[in-house]
């Protein structure tokens, strides 16, 4: 497993994002709010984290829902996965949506999402007239049946 040093400013006073188990890929991120945030059914809110990061060039931060919140409470992220680019220096905000039929309360320090730091490549397009054939070909959604 690779290790990567990332500079971070924590204006929240909450714990830094952390891995909850030794083999976890995502770090839990906490909400930073002075008062509880009530997310009504089908409402989207921007939840601040109080975190600012300096990612190395060639890396992105992916923001993903927490599976337990999605299953138990219908709380997920409106743009999942969200991407934080290496040149962004502002506060990391999390767009939370409540897909349940009950209000959901987010308090300061609540774990609201996960973050995963990933390396990426920039694409250089090569314009061609043909691309290689495959067994699948242009079979799209549902092309392999219902199973």
76, 57 Cβ separation under 8 angstroms: no
| pLDDT per position as a tens digit, 82-141 | 999 999 999 999 999 999 999 999 999 999 999 999 999 999 999 999 999 988 887 777
Lowest mean pLDDT among 9-23, 61-75, 84-98, 123-137: 123-137
pLDDT for 60: 97
Tokens 């999402």, located at residue? 113
Provide the pLDDT for residue 147: 60
Res 34 pLDDT > 90: yes
Across the chain, mean pLDDT equals 94
pLDDT (0 to 100) of residue 94: 98
pTM: predicted TM-score of the whole model, two decimal places: 0.86
The full 3-state SS of 70-121, as one line of letters, equals HHHHCEEECCCCEEECCCCCCCCEEEEEECCCCCEEECCCCEEEEEEEEECC
The pair of three-digit structure tokens given for residue 33, joined into one six-digit string:
């709010």
Give mean pLDDT, residues 28-54: 98
Q: What is the structure's pLDDT at 16?
A: 97
Residue with tokens 């500079």: 7
Instruction: Please give the pLDDT value at position 143.
Output: 65
Give the rounded percent of residues in the chain with a pLDDT score beyond 90: 87
Tokens of 97: 């949506």
pLDDT of residue 81: 92
What stretches of 1-147 show up as alpha helix (H) in DSSP?
A: 67-73
């Amino acid at each position: 497993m690779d290790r990567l040093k990332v500079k971070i400013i924590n204006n929240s006073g909450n714990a830094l994002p952390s891995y909850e188990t030794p083999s976890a890929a995502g770090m839990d991120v906490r909400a930073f709010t002075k008062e509880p945030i009530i997310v009504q059914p089908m409402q989207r809110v921007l939840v601040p984290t109080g975190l600012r990061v300096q990612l190395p060039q060639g890396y992105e931060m992916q923001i993903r829902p927490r599976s337990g919140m999605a299953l138990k409470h219908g709380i997920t992220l409106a743009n999942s996965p969200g991407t934080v680019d290496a040149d962004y220096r502002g506060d990391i905000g999390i767009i939370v949506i409540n897909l349940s039929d009950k209000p959901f309360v987010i308090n300061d320090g609540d774990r609201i999402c996960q973050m995963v730091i990933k390396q990426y490549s920039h694409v250089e397009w090569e314009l061609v007239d043909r691309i290689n054939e495959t067994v699948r070909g242009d079979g799209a959604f549902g092309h392999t049946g219902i199973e």
